[in-house]
């Protein structure tokens, strides 16, 4: 992750984005449930799903490790994240059996063939060198192990209005936003996958839908992106920009009644090829 992104020093912005995602996209899939369904939907000889050793890579404040623990308490769960602040929060707020470490995906602190399953949920696009990250994930997976990657999709006009307003903010702030969604998404991710390392087992794409009738909702979502702008806006500049964008969103809602938004996201299930 580029050193300039401070958005994940603690969980505040990520929590806001998750909450506002739920508030905006009211017609949505239960994504965590889909991840488990993809993981366990393996039509192979692996019949015993007990005692799996699972690593959540870029686990944030630990909500998904906790969810995994709640699915099957026989699973041995690990979480790593590059942010010490996130890991400190995860340790405090999740089950004591879950183990955590501060680490970069490009240099995982585990021996070869340590895990049955790895999950990298909405984080691959933050890795400086994605291929290097995938090599490491391949290394720590057991033979035939499963890697679940989740990403955003840009298909079907996904996030069109959110991206449009973030672009408007770039102009108002005279700053560039650090691009993550274009670096890796459901459409372009496969360019990073070495086909001699991983077999593609399954691809699932979902589209959530929401109607924005209240400008405050979108404003709050956009607000959580502050640390993604470079140079980082001063509080004064940021306040003015938000005020300006909020006015424009309110005017659009007044004119059209609401703003329709689609959000695409997906799951890619890979299996380690033994070499």
Ligand X SMILES: C[S@@+](CC[C@H](N)C(=O)[O-])C[C@H]1O[C@@H](n2cnc3c(N)ncnc32)[C@H](O)[C@@H]1O
Given the rule CB under 6 A, which residues bind ligand X? 1, 8, 14, 58-60, 64, 81-83, 86, 104-106, 121-123, 126-127
Phi, psi of 231 (to 5 degrees): -65, 155
Q: How far is the CB of 32 from ligand X (least distance, A)?
A: 9
Q: How far is the CB of 4 from ligand X (least distance, A)?
A: 12
* 139 to 105, 133, 198: CA distances (angstroms): 11, 10, 11
User: Cβ distance 273 to 232 under 8 Å?
Assistant: no
Q: Which of 106/220 has CB closer to ligand X? A: 106
Instruction: State CA 69 to chain mean position distance.
Output: 19
* 198 to 42, 190, 202, 204, 256: CA distances (angstroms): 15, 11, 12, 17, 47
Tell me how far apart the alpha carbons of residues 2 and 114 are, in angstroms, rounded to a whole number: 27
Q: Which of 58/264 has CB closer to ligand X? A: 58
Q: How far is the CB of 275 from ligand X (least distance, A)?
A: 24
Q: Which of 126/226 has CB closer to ligand X? A: 126
Please give the structure tokens belonging to residue 163: 């991206």
Q: Which of 121/219 has CB closer to ligand X? A: 121
Q: How far is the CB of 121 from ligand X (least distance, A)?
A: 4
Q: Which of 82/241 has CB closer to ligand X? A: 82
Q: Which of 42/181 has CB closer to ligand X? A: 181
- In 3D space, the residue among 76, 242, 94 whose CA is nearest the CA of residue 172 turns out to be 242
DSSP structural state of residue 120: E
Cα Rg, the chain, nearest whole Å: 19
* 175 to 222, 244, 253: CA distances (angstroms): 15, 15, 26
Q: How far is the CB of 211 from ligand X (least distance, A)?
A: 25
Q: How far is the CB of 214 from ligand X (least distance, A)?
A: 25
């Amino acid at each position: 992750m580029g050193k300039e992104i401070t958005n994940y020093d603690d969980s505040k912005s990520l929590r806001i984005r998750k909450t506002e995602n739920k508030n905006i996209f009211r017609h949505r899939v239960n994504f965590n449930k889909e991840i488990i369904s993809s993981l366990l939907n393996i039509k192979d000889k692996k019949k015993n799903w007990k005692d799996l050793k699972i690593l959540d890579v870029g686990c944030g404040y630990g909500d998904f490790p906790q969810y995994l623990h709640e699915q099957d308490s026989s699973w041995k769960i690990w979480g790593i994240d590059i942010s010490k602040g996130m890991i400190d929060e995860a340790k405090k707020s999740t089950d004591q059996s879950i183990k955590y470490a501060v680490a970069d995906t490009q240099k995982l602190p585990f021996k070869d063939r340590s895990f049955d399953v790895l999950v990298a949920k909405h984080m691959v696009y933050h890795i400086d060198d994605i291929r290097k990250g995938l090599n490491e994930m391949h290394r720590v997976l057991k033979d035939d192990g499963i890697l679940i990657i989740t990403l955003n999709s840009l298909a079907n006009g996904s996030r069109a209005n959110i991206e449009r307003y973030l672009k408007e903010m770039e102009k108002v702030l005279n700053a560039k936003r650090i691009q993550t969604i274009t670096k890796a998404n459901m459409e372009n991710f496969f360019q990073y996958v070495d086909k001699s390392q991983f077999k593609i087992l399954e691809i699932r794409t979902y589209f959530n839908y929401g109607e924005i009738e209240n400008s405050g909702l979108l404003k709050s979502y956009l607000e959580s992106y502050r640390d993604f702008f470079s140079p980082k806006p001063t509080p004064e500049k940021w306040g003015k920009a938000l005020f300006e964008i909020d006015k424009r969103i309110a005017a659009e809602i007044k004119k059209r009644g609401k703003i329709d938004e689609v959000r695409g996201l997906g799951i890619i299930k890979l299996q380690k090829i033994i070499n």
